[in-house]
Structure 1
Amino acid sequence: MVNYQSWLSEIDDNTKLSKLSIPGTHNSAACHTALPSVQCQGESITEQLKHGVRFLDIRVGKLFVGKDVKDLQVIHGKFPVKIPFPLKLTDALKEVYDFLNDNKSEVVIVSIKQEGSDDWDNDNDEFGNLIWDNYIQPNKDKWYLNTDIPRLGDARGKALLFRRFGVKNQEREQQFGFEASYWSYNTTDEDRGSFAVQDFCEVKTGQDLPKKVDYVKEFAKRAQDYINSNDDKLFVNFTSASNFFDKDCWPEPVALAMVKGDIQDTFKKGVGIIVLDYAETDNWKLPKQLVDSNF
């Protein structure tokens, strides 16, 4: 039986991450009291990791109160993921570090994306410099920061930065993790060279959810077909979609639609990263089946 807390320990050191089927979570830290359309998970980052999740999607912005930008808060769009008090990025990352300290065989891919206010001076790398100076550099021993897709043996015990923000400083860019700063909005299948992504999110009504289910299945199949002959591309497949104005398209109903739509029928070794809302749905059914497909 698979131990989901340390399942990567059963995989050979020479295996590239791109060869695996990896459970991920969408807005991973959005598991606290918040607006119902903002909450995307029912369990903490720590619980997600214990149940096999190895890709975390974290969106951050400036604190809403005060001028201090030394720490950032986790947000979903323009809304805080925790009210009335903010969830700080420092605290979200501490959960990752603590898990890896206790499970040194594991690798956690951490996607960090800038959201919220548009008043960053990104021509001068203001956001990137803040992430580097306040979060990465002081914890550099905890991160895998090369720009490649690593073998497991090279990254065990580390958080791998999946960088969803641009960096103008070319010297810094070479030591700032896996570059994933751009893909087209609402894409159903986009190849960016080192990675490919399905992130169709414009679901207008609940009746559109089967279309989203089909996109997830089709992209999982494409990932597997590719990985059978190559291993140099990460496939990132988002199951999330939403319409703020229709509660049938909020994260929890979308998560249920994925289970009912039997996306797990496509789960075979090498389907890439499947990014889930409410990953604990039906006793963690989808993360467990994704992990199991690696064996």
Structure 2
Amino acid sequence: MGTHRRAGASAAGMLLMEMAVLVGVLAVTCAGAIQRPDYDDTGAPEFLNQSWMASIPDSRPLSEVTIPGTHNTMAFYGGALTECQSWPLEQQLRAGVRFLDVRVRHAKGNLTIHHGVVYQRAHFGQVLEGVAGFLREHPSETVLMRLKEELSETGDIYGAVVEYVHRHAHWDLLWHSRLVPTVGQVRGKLIVLQDFAGPDLGMRYGSLDIADDWKVPTLLHLSKKWRSVHEHLSMADAGNRSHLFLTFASGAGIFAYPNAVAKRINPRLYKYLSNRAGPAKRFGIVTMDFPAAPLLKMIIDFN
């Protein structure tokens, strides 16, 4: 009898916690736009960092540069469950973002931008045009782009990607090597981090040292998520300088929408980096949902 009561009490307690988490998610979802030093879901960044790579020596390997990035860069639509960013691509680049995470759905040679089942009202050509235009204006910079097939399962986007590059940009825009370049070698270029099959277009995404523990079932799991981020940033700082490190600070789950996770993980990231400000450090690529301009600048300043 006592055992049944304890089990019932435990189940009731878990249900109350889950309900509290759901209420918290809904509260975050319904809140107005916010612009904090660590989190920004407004329409434009507080300030810009347009040409920050100009001060980095040409001889420095890209693997030794600390780079801010955005997860699911083009995910602007579909409600709180699928929206990961609020700044348009051009504003992200002008704010200092240099790593893009782009997901394309392949259908009959067309490459539309998706986050899961949600169409993001854009196609891959618009992304290429945006990046090419930015790099023409800021030739000291380079942009890395993880490119992945989303929703469709053709496993054969190489030909369509090549066609889009020729139609919406130009072949020489790309860094055509698997090797880690120096900064000087890739100024004004787009590095495709190829997360799909086919001949080499650029570097292979799988060659990076990646921490992408994106599953955060509820807000009760945030400590586990932060532990993954913290440990991988420490690894990047101490790790092999010839390897590119990539840490995703983003995460989501049915009871933990991307904005709810970012509102709680981004401040921890901001504090972690603030406590290490000063001498140059190598944290690799640090990728976020809803980053704020001061957080991006803090990451850039480690160079």
Same topology, TM > 0.5: yes
How far did residue 71 of structure 1 move?
2.8
Shift of the 177–262 alpha-carbon distance from structure 1 to 2, 3 Å rule, reads closer
Q: Tell me the amino acid that sits aligned with residue 172 of structure 2.
A: D
Pairwise mapping of residues 96-175 of structure 1 onto structure 2 (< 5 A)? Answer: 96-118=131-153, 120=154, 122=155, 126-135=156-165, 139-167=170-198, 172-173=199-200
Q: Which residue of 1 aligns with 2:113?
A: 74
- Counterpart among 238, 241, 260 of residue 231 in structure 1: 241
Kindly indicate whether the alpha-carbon contact (under 8 Å) linking 1:46 and 1:99 is maintained by their aligned counterparts in 2: yes
Structure 2 unaligned blocks of 5 or more: 1-46
Q: Tell me the amino acid that sits aligned with residue 226 of structure 2.
A: V
**TM norm structure 1:** 0.80
Q: Percent identity, aligned pairs only?
A: 29
Q: Which residue of 1 aligns with 2:11?
A: none
- Counterpart among 198, 202, 209 of residue 177 in structure 1: 202
Kindly indicate whether the alpha-carbon contact (under 8 Å) linking 2:143 and 2:189 is maintained by their aligned counterparts in 1: yes
Q: Which residue of 2 aligns with 1:260?
A: 267
Instruction: Report which of the two structures shows the higher radius of gyration computed on alpha carbons.
Output: 2
Q: Which residue of 2 aligns with 1:191?
A: none
Q: Which residue of 2 aligns with 1:7?
A: 52
Q: Which residue of 2 aligns with 1:190?
A: none
Q: Residues 57-107 of structure 1, C-alpha deviation per residue, up to 9 Å, x if partnerless?
A: 0000036xxxxx3331111122212xxxx2111112211111101000000
Q: Which residue of 1 aligns with 2:287?
A: 275
> Structure 1 residue 95 and structure 2 residue 120: aligned?
no
Kindly indicate whether the alpha-carbon contact (under 8 Å) linking 1:216 and 1:263 is maintained by their aligned counterparts in 2: no
Whole-angstrom distance in 2 between the partners of 1:62 and 1:109: 21
How many residue pairs align between the two structures?
A: 251
Whole-angstrom distance in 2 between the partners of 1:127 and 1:21: 30
Structure 1 segments of 4 or more deviating over 6 A? Answer: none
How far did residue 210 of structure 1 move?
1.9
Q: Tell me the amino acid that sits aligned with residue 206 of structure 1.
A: L
- Counterpart among 268, 287, 290 of residue 296 in structure 2: 287
Q: Residues 131-157 of structure 1, C-alpha deviation per residue, up to 9 Å, x if partnerless?
A: 123325861121112111110110000
Kindly indicate whether the alpha-carbon contact (under 8 Å) linking 2:48 and 2:94 is maintained by their aligned counterparts in 1: no
Q: Cα RMSD (Å) of the superposition?
A: 1.9
Whole-angstrom distance in 2 between the partners of 1:38 and 1:271: 27
Whole-angstrom distance in 1 between the partners of 2:297 and 2:176: 28
Shift of the 116–3 alpha-carbon distance from structure 1 to 2, 3 Å rule, reads closer
Q: Residues 226-257 of structure 1, C-alpha deviation per residue, up to 9 Å, x if partnerless?
A: 1xxx42211010111111x22xx111111111
Q: Secondary structure at the match of 2:143?
A: strand
How far did residue 3 of structure 1 move?
7.0
Q: Which residue of 2 aligns with 1:220?
A: 233
How far did residue 278 of structure 1 move?
0.7
